[in-house]
Structure 1
Amino acid sequence: MPIYLDVHSVSGGVTIDDVAKAHLADLQTQGRHDVTYLRYWVDEAQGKIFCLVEAPSADAAEAVHREAHGLVADEIYQVQEGS
C-alpha cells in the first residue's frame, strides 16, 4: 500500500497535546477508509504537523482527517521509505 507524508500548518502554533488528541481521533476513524496512520511529528513553535500514513490514496488519507477532526493537510506527498 502507498505511504504518504502530509504537512499541516497551524497559524499561532500548536501543542503536542492537541495533536495527540487529533491523532487518537484519526485512529478511531481510519478503519472506515482502509487507512493506517503510522506516526506523527510536531514543531510546536512553527505550527507544523507531519503525519505518516498508509493509504490507498491521498484522498483516503485526507478523508480520515476531515471526518475525525476537520484538520486537513495543506500538503500531501506520496513517499518511499529509505534507510
Structure 2
Amino acid sequence: MPLFMDVHSLGDGVSIDDVAKAHQADLATQEPHGVNYLRYWVDESKGQIFCLVEAPDAEAANTVHRDAHGLVADQIFEVKEGL
C-alpha cells in the first residue's frame, strides 16, 4: 500500500496532547477507508504536525482526518521508506 506523509500548518497553540487526541480519533475512524495512520510528529514552536500513513491514495488519508476531527492536511506527499 502507498505510504504518505502529510503536513498540517496550524500556527500557534498546537500541543502534543491535542495532537495525540486527534491521532486517536484518526485511529478510530480509519478502518472503513482502508487507511492505517502509523506515526505523527509535532513541532509545537512552529505549529506544524506531520503524519505518516498507509492509504490507498492521498484523498483517503485526508478523508479520515476530515471525518475524525476536521483538521485536513495542507500538503500530502507520497513517500518511499529508505534504510
For normalisation by structure 2, the TM-score amounts to 0.98
Could you list the runs of 4 or more consecutive aligned residues of structure 1 that deviate by over 4 angstroms after TM superposition?
Answer: none
Residue 12 of structure 1: CA displacement? 1.3
Distance in 2 (CA, whole Å) between partners of 1:36 and 1:69 is: 16
Deviation string, structure 1 residues 15-64 (Cα, Å, up to 9, x no partner): 00000000000000000100000000000010010000000000000000
Distance in 1 (CA, whole Å) between partners of 2:78 and 2:14 is: 24
2:62 is the counterpart of 1:62: yes
Q: Which amino acid aligns with 1:11?
A: G
Residue 9 of structure 1: CA displacement? 0.3
CA RMSD in angstroms, aligned pairs only:
0.5
SS at match of 1:42: strand
Q: Sequence identity of aligned pairs in percent?
A: 69
Q: Which amino acid aligns with 1:29?
A: T
Q: Which runs of 5+ in 2 are unaligned?
A: none
For normalisation by structure 1, the TM-score amounts to 0.98
Q: Which runs of 5+ in 1 are unaligned?
A: none
Partners of 1:66 and 1:72 within 8 A in 2: yes
